[in-house]
Structure 1
């Protein structure tokens, strides 16, 4: 097929590049003669109702017309909704308005409405605007303050879109739809596989550290305060640059805890920063626990494999007697009771853990030889599970890149 170079994009010779405003109305006016009773039910689409991954409306609301007839965005069956505000725009919250009650609907004012004319399919426009390169260009047009930036109407009006003949659009859209359905199925399968591997990892730990009514011979219950020394850190004054600039002391914060085994970290402080704060060197092979932090951070543990200091959000634990406790055993035990640790203060509690609380955590302690056997067995099993987990994550990452590739090919006529 012969292709012409047009606006840096090769398209078939039967196609043409047009501005979106030439083939669609952007933010069309609401009909003045809309005769709709106040108590009649209508479709309402808040931003959370749009699935960013699929680019589809999944959970619309049904509300009385009187609640939405003023102050909201009006659209009709077949219109394309474009989320104009950050970060919804970049995340892909753009959808075709379908299955609307009586063919009309209302939504958040953060939508631009694109109404395709007779020579273009809604699916063609929708697929085009969801491309990464289009969304990237849209960010360059943002107006407004940071955090409240929006894509202006004229960006969409002047957006160049390749336009094939209508039969060609239908053919490509049908093929693209089938391909994206297959991608979605593959993604779902990969996600299920990933979750299964994660559950396998959890079960390996739970099988070893399950609650036992009667402890095996030689085992005993202890608290962390009985068997561990503990220390936390501090933060040097951030306004004094000599505490940080050109520093060579590794300085850990709560976000570093997710490494499982910590050999390095991004942050550094100087010797002056260390000496003029509560930060201090932590023993190598300590078990670190996050006392607080965002998301799933609080209660997460890691093994420290390098000389480093930390801030006050982390607590380091190390055996009082290395002939009675192995750090790796402690790490695995605490990993297995992660949710129990979070539940001590409530899973949504913002106050976090403390040294006092951590000292009271109980664990079953076997003789040293058994600890080492457990660690050796678990290490092999978890290493194998982690390799499969990495493969699953890489597979899912590759699948997630497919839609962008398919869309690009579709709009180049391949």
Structure 2
């Protein structure tokens, strides 16, 4: 950083360039770009307005800017959220917009995109938020704060190099984040599809009141709250979301108020809470023994245990048929709400208790699975967000372009669909086989089954498109791409011998293997669990396990009833003619293993179709 200088933004930028520039350049009837606050993005480098106005219409009360200027929102909460961008593609090179913009025009010593990334740093936004002035809800960052804020200034070539590195890194992070968001959404949608499937059954219906011990609404006024925390908590509509009543953020009341507000009924563990308004139709179960009571716009259902399981009621109220009833009973011209009498007249599907418990067991397992997946992808998203902050910090402290800093490709989390990622999975599997002196069992067949089960059990998308093969679920081309990457990088290769393939280490194997935990990241422990499941198995056992697991997943996707007979037919008779050479007892053993290890598929895996014979 020897050549870096520190200047204030006021020294290297013109803050709020004068409107007279536009008037000197254009007549009042000429079109210019117009950008209200909603056109300024968050995490979007370029601001490109979608509207135009005549110069004479906007030059009076709106803020002026030009191509290459950096726009920064100064009002809360837009400033804290990081609303800023570089103006580009303006009509006639001129734009006007919100009076809540601060416009910074870099001098020749400062690159506008370098400035954009500098202003996007959490440190700058936090510093600015602490200095905001004005009334609550209308606080603003001052021009003086921006002018006096110090900025490190490397030579222009290094500024542009830093911008190029950040552009590449942020593009990769955005792709990885979108992938994780999609996976998290898919997990939620999976639960919704199973919920819909369960409640599509043709069960008889009863009035919900006839299956409950009680249905209790709140006291029809807001309880006076305490100024400090007490043992007595008020549930509000915001505490009820997605099947859960969270007491993490509540209002507190005194003991006297609590006794008055619970005089008709004290809420207890297992009560199902429904929001009648703001928003209408959210459902959760109270799973706490703390002294709590219903706040406004809540209603509590207590199941009659001889007729109705409480968790079945919880899932029923979340299901599409009940949600449709709830919203059909909505009234109110501005805020939709359901009246208390209507909350007692909903029609509830009511099978026998045994069927209810079966449905609950299925839905509980699916909810746990989808929550686990959601948490995994949530952690990935948080890690990617943290990586952006780290890169921005490094960029303006000289670390990003330092020779001691890892290349950005090594810092950025590797895409799970890349050949490098799968190559690391394969190498790690070989090494763990070798530790147990089982490396002779690790050839192409077991390698392919490993990759399939990493997707199916560890829930890591490797980008495979598996097909039915004589040796089980297979994407041979995907595996070859991983092996080609490994050979090209002196990692390993698979060497053909009579009757199969052997794993061969190449010169860089030990060095690259030490980086496998970093490459596999948060997925490492789940991948190791799959590997350790396979290590004791011979080739046939691994083949049968992967095939049986894939067949099970196929049946669920097809909506076919899963029985042992159906599984064996799908994985043996209906899979490939070569499978008939494997004793049926092997498939029964695989079924028992899957159940005992808690590895029963949920229908969220990839469908294995067609047939191929490449192994």
Q: Report the TM-score range of the alignment, normalised by the length of the smaller protein.
A: 0.7 to 0.9
Give CA-to-partner distance per residue, 1:158-203, whole Å, 9 cap, x none. 1100000111111111111111111111111111112111111111
Q: Which runs of 4+ in 1 moved over 6 A?
A: none
Q: Identify the match of residue 144 of structure 1 among 134, 140, 143.
A: 134
* Larger helix percent: 2
Q: Identify the match of residue 288 of structure 1 among 258, 263, 273.
A: 273
Closer, same or farther: CA 349–61 of 1 in aligned 2, 3 Å: same
Q: Identify the match of residue 256 of structure 2 among 251, 268, 272.
A: 272
CA apart distance, 1:363? 2.4
Per the alignment, residue 62 of structure 1 pairs with: 52
**Counterpart contact for 1:236–1:274, Cα < 8 Å:** no
Q: Identify the match of residue 260 of structure 1 among 240, 243, 246.
A: 243
Closer, same or farther: CA 400–348 of 1 in aligned 2, 3 Å: farther
Q: Distance in 1 between matches of 2:183 and 2:393?
A: 28
Per the alignment, residue 216 of structure 2 pairs with: 231
Per the alignment, residue 118 of structure 1 pairs with: 108
**2:241 partner SS:** helix
Per the alignment, residue 49 of structure 1 pairs with: 39
Closer, same or farther: CA 156–207 of 1 in aligned 2, 3 Å: same
Per the alignment, residue 299 of structure 2 pairs with: 315
Q: Distance in 2 between matches of 1:42 and 1:154?
A: 29
Per the alignment, residue 407 of structure 1 pairs with: 392
Closer, same or farther: CA 343–404 of 1 in aligned 2, 3 Å: farther
Per the alignment, residue 299 of structure 1 pairs with: 281
- Structure possessing the higher radius of gyration over alpha carbons: 2
**Counterpart contact for 2:273–2:283, Cα < 8 Å:** yes
**1:353 partner SS:** coil
**Counterpart contact for 2:63–2:96, Cα < 8 Å:** yes
Q: TM-score normalized by structure 2?
A: 0.60
**Counterpart contact for 2:8–2:150, Cα < 8 Å:** yes
2:23 maps to 1:23:
no
**Counterpart contact for 1:230–1:355, Cα < 8 Å:** no
CA apart distance, 1:128? 0.6
CA apart distance, 1:152? 1.0
Bigger shift: 136-145 or 64-73? 64-73
**2:280 partner SS:** coil
2:314 maps to 1:331:
yes
Closer, same or farther: CA 326–45 of 1 in aligned 2, 3 Å: same
CA apart distance, 1:59? 5.2
Gapped regions of structure 1 (runs ≥ 5)? 1-11
Closer, same or farther: CA 66–360 of 1 in aligned 2, 3 Å: farther
Q: Distance in 2 between matches of 1:409 and 1:386?
A: 34
CA apart distance, 1:113? 0.7
Q: Distance in 2 between matches of 1:41 and 1:57?
A: 18
Per the alignment, residue 251 of structure 1 pairs with: 234
Closer, same or farther: CA 347–80 of 1 in aligned 2, 3 Å: farther
CA apart distance, 1:253? 1.8
Per the alignment, residue 4 of structure 1 pairs with: none
Give CA-to-partner distance per residue, 1:91-140, whole Å, 9 cap, x none. 01111001111111111010011010111100111111111111111112
Closer, same or farther: CA 390–58 of 1 in aligned 2, 3 Å: farther
Q: Identify the match of residue 153 of structure 1 among 143, 153, 158.
A: 143
Per the alignment, residue 6 of structure 1 pairs with: none
2:178 maps to 1:192:
no
Per the alignment, residue 441 of structure 2 pairs with: none
**Counterpart contact for 2:243–2:318, Cα < 8 Å:** no
Gapped regions of structure 2 (runs ≥ 5)? 400-615
Per the alignment, residue 342 of structure 1 pairs with: 327
Closer, same or farther: CA 334–349 of 1 in aligned 2, 3 Å: farther
TM-align CA RMSD:
2.3
**1:34 partner SS:** helix
Q: Distance in 2 between matches of 1:245 and 1:79?
A: 49
**1:51 partner SS:** coil
Q: How does 1:90-109 map to 2 (within 5 A)?
A: 90-109=80-99
CA apart distance, 1:396? 1.2
Per the alignment, residue 345 of structure 2 pairs with: 360
Q: Identify the match of residue 81 of structure 1 among 67, 71, 94.
A: 71
Q: Which has the higher contact order (CA 8 A, sep 6+)?
A: 1
Give CA-to-partner distance per residue, 1:264-301, whole Å, 9 cap, x none. 554443431133346641243111101222xxx42111
Q: Distance in 2 between matches of 1:76 and 1:178?
A: 26
Per the alignment, residue 567 of structure 2 pairs with: none
CA apart distance, 1:61? 1.7
CA apart distance, 1:63? 2.8
Q: Distance in 2 between matches of 1:231 and 1:39?
A: 66
Q: Distance in 2 between matches of 1:246 and 1:160?
A: 42
